[in-house]
Amino acid sequence: MRGAVWWGLGRYAERVLTLRDVHKSYGSTVAVDGLSLHIEAGEVFGLLGPNGAGKSTTIGMAVGLLRPDRGSVELAGLGSPTKASVRRHLGACPQQIALYEQFSGEENLLFLGKLHGLDRATRKRRAAELLERVGLTARARDRVSAYSGGMQRRLNIAAALVHDPQLVLLDEPTAGVDPHSRHALFELVRALKSEGRTVVYTTHYMEEAQRLCDRVGVIDQGRVLALGTVDELIAAHGGQSVVTVLRDGPGGGAEEGEPERIETDDPMREIARVAAEPGAREVRLERPDLEGVFLHLTGRSLRD
Amino acid sequence: MRAVLALALKDLLLLRRDRAGAFFTLVFPVAFAVLFGLIFSGTTGTPTGVRVLVVDEDGSAASAAFMERLTRNESLRIEVIGDAQVGAGAVRRGQRAAMLVLPAGFGESVSSPTRLFGGGGGDEGLVRGVVDPGQRFTTGLLQGAVTAALFETVSGAMGEAEGVRRAAADGRAMVASAEPGTINLPMRLALRGVFDQLDVMASEMEAAHARGDGGDAPSGDGTGAGPGSGFGNGLGVRFEEVAVARSGPRSSFDLTIPQGNAWGLMACVIGFGMSLVTERTRGTMTRLLVAPVSSSQVLAGKAVACFATACFVQTVLILVGVAFFGVRVGSVGLLAAGFVAASFAFTGIMMTLSAVGRTEGGSEGFGRAVLLVLALFGGGGVPLAFMPEWMRQVAGVSPFKWAILAVENAVWRGASAAEAVVPLVALAGFGVAGFVLGVWLFRRSLRR
Ligand SMILES: Nc1ncnc2c1ncn2[C@@H]1O[C@H](COP(=O)(O)OP(=O)(O)OP(=O)(O)O)[C@@H](O)[C@H]1O
Ligand SMILES: [Mg+2]
Does any CB of chain A come closer than 8 Å to the CB of residue B18? yes
Question: Which pLDDT value is given to residue A11?
Answer: 46
* A6 assigned to some structural domain: no
Checking if the pLDDT of B287 tops 80, the result is yes
Identify each DSSP E strand in chain A by its residue range. Answer: 15-26, 29-40, 44-48, 70-75, 90-93, 167-171, 198-203, 215-220, 223-229, 241-247, 260-264, 280-286
Verify that A84 and A21 share a domain, yes or no. Answer: yes
* Mean of all residue pLDDT scores within chain B: 77
In sequence order, what are the residues at sequence separation of 6 or more whose Cβ sits closer than 8 angstroms to the Cβ of residue A291?
Answer: A206, A301, A302
Q: Does A91 contact ligand 1 (Cβ within 6 A)?
A: no
Q: Does A26 contact ligand 1 (Cβ within 6 A)?
A: yes
A113-118 own/partner pairs: CB under 8 Å, 24+ apart: A113/A162, A113/A163, A114/B6, A115/B3, A115/B6, A115/B7, A115/B288, A115/B291, A115/B292, A115/B293, A116/A88, A116/A162, A116/A163, A116/B291, A116/B292, A117/B2, A117/B3, A117/B292, A118/A162, A118/A163
* A256 assigned to some structural domain: yes
Contact residues, A window 93-112, toward B, CB-based 8 Å cutoff: 94, 96-103, 107, 111-112
Sort out which chain B residues have CB atoms less than 8 A from A80's CB and list them.
none
Task: Looking at mean pLDDT, say which of B8-17, B168-177, B209-218 comes out highest.
Answer: B8-17
Confidence of residue B88 (pLDDT cuts 50, 70, 90): confident
Sort out which chain A residues have CB atoms less than 8 A from B286's CB and list them.
65, 94, 96, 98
Question: How far is the alpha carbon of A222 from chain B, nearest alpha carbon, in Å?
Answer: 18
Verify that B21 and B60 share a domain, yes or no. Answer: no
Question: Which pLDDT value is given to residue A264?
Answer: 85
Q: What CATH number is given to the structural domain containing A37?
A: 3.40.50.300
Contact by Cβ (8 Å): B401, B380: no
Verify that A223 and A268 share a domain, yes or no. Answer: no
Q: What CATH number is given to the structural domain containing B61?
A: 3.40.1710.10
pLDDT (average), residues B243-270: 79
Contact residues, A window 251-290, toward B, CB-based 8 Å cutoff: none
Verify that B22 and B104 share a domain, yes or no. Answer: no
**Which SS3 state, helix, strand or coil, does residue A8 take?**
helix
Residue A172 Cα to ligand 2 midpoint, Å, equals: 7
Verify that B296 and B412 share a domain, yes or no. Answer: yes
Q: CA B393 to CA B403: how far, in whole Å?
A: 15
Per the structure, how many domains does chain A have? 2
| Interface test mutation site (partner A, options B14, B17, B287, B445, max chain A beta carbons within 10 A) | B287
Question: Which pLDDT value is given to residue A115?
Answer: 93
Question: Which pLDDT value is given to residue A250?
Answer: 65
**Which SS3 state, helix, strand or coil, does residue A215 take?**
strand
- In DSSP notation, A160-182 reads TSTT--SEEEEESTTTT--HHHH
Contact by Cβ (8 Å): A168, A91: yes
Q: CA A69 to CA A63: how far, in whole Å?
A: 15
The more confidently predicted of residues B234 and A154 is: A154
Residue B406 Cα to ligand 1 midpoint, Å, equals: 50
Q: Of A185-194, B217-226, B261-270, B280-289, which range is least confident?
A: B217-226
| Ligand with an atom nearest the CA of residue A57 | 1
The more confidently predicted of residues B238 and B82 is: B82
Contact by Cβ (8 Å): B107, B63: yes
Confidence of residue B166 (pLDDT cuts 50, 70, 90): confident
Checking if the pLDDT of A133 tops 80, the result is yes
**Which SS3 state, helix, strand or coil, does residue B127 take?**
strand
Task: Please report how the helices B399-411 and B252-281 are oriented relative to each other, as an axis angle in degrees rounded to 10.
Answer: 140
Q: Ligand 1 pocket: which of A23, A33, A47, A57 to mutate (most atoms <8 Å of CB)?
A: A57
| Interface test mutation site (partner A, options B18, B290, B295, B444, max chain A beta carbons within 10 A) | B290
Domain stops at, among B243, B260, B294: B243
Verify that B55 and B139 share a domain, yes or no. Answer: yes
- Using CB atoms, pick whichever of A66, A84, A103 lies closest to residue B292: A84
| Interface test mutation site (partner B, options A23, A111, A152, max chain B beta carbons within 10 A) | A111
Checking if the pLDDT of B448 tops 70, the result is no
Contact by Cβ (8 Å): A206, A230: no
* Three-state SS sequence of B343-411: HHHHHHHHHHHHHHCCCHHHHHHHHHHHHHHHHHHHHHCCCHHHCCHHHHHHHHHCHHHHHHHHHHHHH
Contact by Cβ (8 Å): A256, A279: no
Sort out which chain A residues have CB atoms less than 8 A from B284's CB and list them.
98-100
* B164 assigned to some structural domain: no
Confidence of residue B305 (pLDDT cuts 50, 70, 90): very high
Does any CB of chain A come closer than 8 Å to the CB of residue B16? no
Model pLDDT for residues A69-83, shown as the tens digit of each residue = 999 999 988 889 988
Q: Of A18-22, A137-141, A288-292, B311-315, which range is least confident?
A: A288-292
Q: Does A298 contact ligand 1 (Cβ within 6 A)?
A: no
Secondary structure element (H or E) that encloses residue A235, with its range: helix A230-237
Backbone angles phi, psi at B315, to 5 degrees: -65, -45
pLDDT (average), residues B72-96: 80
Confidence of residue A207 (pLDDT cuts 50, 70, 90): confident
pLDDT (average), residues B36-44: 68
Residue A202 Cα to ligand 2 midpoint, Å, equals: 8
Verify that A65 and A169 share a domain, yes or no. Answer: yes
Q: Which atom of ligand 1 is nearest to the CA of A222?
A: 14
Model pLDDT for residues A4-45, shown as the tens digit of each residue = 444 444 444 478 999 999 999 998 999 999 999 999 999 999
Task: Answer yes or no: do B284 and A100 touch at CB < 8 A.
Answer: yes
Question: Which pLDDT value is given to residue A220?
Answer: 92
Confidence of residue A124 (pLDDT cuts 50, 70, 90): very high
Residue A78 Cα to ligand 2 midpoint, Å, equals: 26
The more confidently predicted of residues B34 and B360 is: B34
Verify that A169 and A192 share a domain, yes or no. Answer: yes
* B188 assigned to some structural domain: no
Verify that A176 and A277 share a domain, yes or no. Answer: no
Residue A252 Cα to ligand 1 midpoint, Å, equals: 57
Checking if the pLDDT of B210 tops 80, the result is no
pLDDT (average), residues B267-282: 87
Q: CA B97 to CA B134: how far, in whole Å?
A: 9
pLDDT (average), residues B256-277: 88
pLDDT (average), residues B224-237: 40
CA separation, residue B440 to residues A13, A79, B7, B123, B352 (Å): 40, 26, 20, 71, 9
* A115 assigned to some structural domain: no
Q: Does A52 contact ligand 1 (Cβ within 6 A)?
A: yes
* A145 assigned to some structural domain: no
Contact by Cβ (8 Å): B73, B120: no
Q: CA A273 to CA A126: how far, in whole Å?
A: 58
* B76 assigned to some structural domain: yes
- Using CB atoms, pick whichever of A88, A94, A102 lies closest to residue B292: A88
Does any CB of chain A come closer than 8 Å to the CB of residue B14? yes
**Which region holds residue A256: left if phi is over 0, alpha if psi is between -120 and 50, else beta?**
beta
Percent of chain A with pLDDT over 90: 56
Model pLDDT for residues B330-359, shown as the tens digit of each residue = 888 889 999 999 999 999 999 888 877 665
Question: Which pLDDT value is given to residue A235?
Answer: 86
Number of H helices, E strands in chain A: 11, 12
Secondary structure element (H or E) that encloses residue B52, with its range: strand B50-56
Verify that B27 and B144 share a domain, yes or no. Answer: no
* A160 assigned to some structural domain: no
Task: Answer yes or no: do B447 and A67 touch at CB < 8 A.
Answer: yes
Q: Which residues of A8-34 are buried (b: 16+ CB within 10 A; e: fewer)?
A: eebeeeeebbbbeebbbeeeeebbbbe
Confidence of residue B226 (pLDDT cuts 50, 70, 90): very low
**Which SS3 state, helix, strand or coil, does residue B438 take?**
helix
pLDDT (average), residues B89-109: 80
* A169 assigned to some structural domain: yes
Q: Does A217 contact ligand 1 (Cβ within 6 A)?
A: no
Question: How far is the alpha carbon of B294 from chain A, nearest alpha carbon, in Å?
Answer: 6
Does any CB of chain B come closer than 8 Å to the CB of residue A116? yes
- Using CB atoms, pick whichever of A64, A102, A112 lies closest to residue B17: A102
Question: Which pLDDT value is given to residue B248?
Answer: 64
Task: Please report how the helices A105-115 and A149-159 are oriented relative to each other, as an axis angle in degrees rounded to 10.
Answer: 20
Which is nearest to B129 in space by CA: B150, B154, B151?
B150
Q: CA B256 to CA B187: how far, in whole Å?
A: 47
Per the structure, how many domains does chain B have? 2
Domain of residue B304 covers: 2-40+252-446
Question: Which pLDDT value is given to residue B219?
Answer: 39
pLDDT (average), residues B84-105: 81
Checking if the pLDDT of B74 tops 80, the result is no
Question: Which pLDDT value is given to residue A17?
Answer: 94
Verify that A170 and A277 share a domain, yes or no. Answer: no
Question: Which pLDDT value is given to residue B277?
Answer: 85
Checking if the pLDDT of A165 tops 80, the result is yes
- Using CB atoms, pick whichever of B6, B283, B448 lies closest to residue A66: B448
The more confidently predicted of residues A304 and B184 is: B184
**Which SS3 state, helix, strand or coil, does residue A144 take?**
helix
Q: Of A26-40, A118-132, B7-21, B346-360, which range is least confident?
A: B346-360
DSSP A35: E
The more confidently predicted of residues B270 and B138 is: B270
Verify that A85 and A47 share a domain, yes or no. Answer: yes
Checking if the pLDDT of B439 tops 80, the result is yes
Q: How many CB atoms lie within 10 A of CB A71?
A: 16
pLDDT (average), residues A122-126: 95
Q: Residue B284's closest chain A neighbor by CA?
A: A98
- Using CB atoms, pick whichever of B7, B282, B294 lies closest to residue A98: B282
Percent of chain B with pLDDT over 90: 14
**Which region holds residue B94: left if phi is over 0, alpha if psi is between -120 and 50, else beta?**
left
Confidence of residue B229 (pLDDT cuts 50, 70, 90): very low
Q: Are strands B98-102 and B127-131 parallel, antiparallel or unpaired?
A: antiparallel
* B365 assigned to some structural domain: yes
Question: How far is the alpha carbon of B17 from chain A, nearest alpha carbon, in Å?
Answer: 6
Q: Does A57 contact ligand 1 (Cβ within 6 A)?
A: yes
Does any CB of chain A come closer than 8 Å to the CB of residue B308? no
* A52 assigned to some structural domain: yes
pLDDT (average), residues B233-238: 53
Task: Answer yes or no: do B290 and A97 touch at CB < 8 A.
Answer: no
Q: Which residues of A105-116 are buried (b: 16+ CB within 10 A; e: fewer)?
A: bbbbbbbbbbbb
Q: CA B299 to CA B434: how far, in whole Å?
A: 13
Q: How many CB atoms lie within 10 A of CB A67?
A: 14
Verify that B234 and B256 share a domain, yes or no. Answer: no
* B202 assigned to some structural domain: no
The more confidently predicted of residues B164 and B158 is: B164
Verify that A279 and A176 share a domain, yes or no. Answer: no
Q: Does A156 contact ligand 1 (Cβ within 6 A)?
A: no
* B136 assigned to some structural domain: yes
- In DSSP notation, B234-279 reads TTSEEEEE------S-SSHHHHHHHHHHHHHHHHHHHHHHHHHHHH
Sort out which chain B residues have CB atoms less than 8 A from A157's CB and list them.
none
Question: How far is the alpha carbon of B281 from chain A, nearest alpha carbon, in Å?
Answer: 9
Verify that A224 and A282 share a domain, yes or no. Answer: no
* B122 assigned to some structural domain: yes
Question: Which pLDDT value is given to residue B224?
Answer: 33
Does any CB of chain A come closer than 8 Å to the CB of residue B278? no
| Interface test mutation site (partner B, options A100, A101, A123, max chain B beta carbons within 10 A) | A100
Confidence of residue B215 (pLDDT cuts 50, 70, 90): very low
CA separation, residue A108 to residues A131, B292, B323, B429 (Å): 11, 16, 39, 37
pLDDT (average), residues A164-186: 89
Q: Does A203 contact ligand 1 (Cβ within 6 A)?
A: no
Backbone angles phi, psi at A118, to 5 degrees: -75, 145
Verify that B31 and B86 share a domain, yes or no. Answer: no
Q: Does A12 contact ligand 1 (Cβ within 6 A)?
A: no
Q: CA B413 to CA B426: how far, in whole Å?
A: 17
Does any CB of chain A come closer than 8 Å to the CB of residue B31? no
Domain of residue A71 covers: 15-89+165-235
* A7 assigned to some structural domain: no
Question: Which pLDDT value is given to residue B120?
Answer: 44
Verify that B228 and B266 share a domain, yes or no. Answer: no
Does any CB of chain B come closer than 8 Å to the CB of residue A69? no
Checking if the pLDDT of B118 tops 60, the result is no
In sequence order, what are the residues at sequence separation of 6 or more whose Cβ sits closer than 8 angstroms to the Cβ of residue B340?
Answer: B311
Secondary structure element (H or E) that encloses residue B50, with its range: strand B50-56
pLDDT (average), residues A213-231: 92
Task: Looking at mean pLDDT, say which of A101-105, A208-212, B162-166, B176-180 comes out highest.
Answer: A101-105
* B21 assigned to some structural domain: yes
Checking if the pLDDT of B227 tops 60, the result is no
Q: Of A105-114, A132-141, B29-38, which range is least confident?
A: B29-38
Task: Answer yes or no: do A159 and B288 touch at CB < 8 A.
Answer: no
Checking if the pLDDT of B112 tops 70, the result is no
Question: How far is the alpha carbon of B440 from chain A, nearest alpha carbon, in Å?
Answer: 18
Sheet with strand A70-75: strands edge to edge? A29-40, A15-26, A70-75
Q: CA B215 to CA B178: how far, in whole Å?
A: 33
Verify that A80 and A169 share a domain, yes or no. Answer: yes
Q: CA A17 to CA A38: how far, in whole Å?
A: 6
Side-chain-facing half-sphere of B121: CA atoms under 13 Å: 29
Verify that B7 and B94 share a domain, yes or no. Answer: no
Backbone angles phi, psi at A92, to 5 degrees: -125, 135
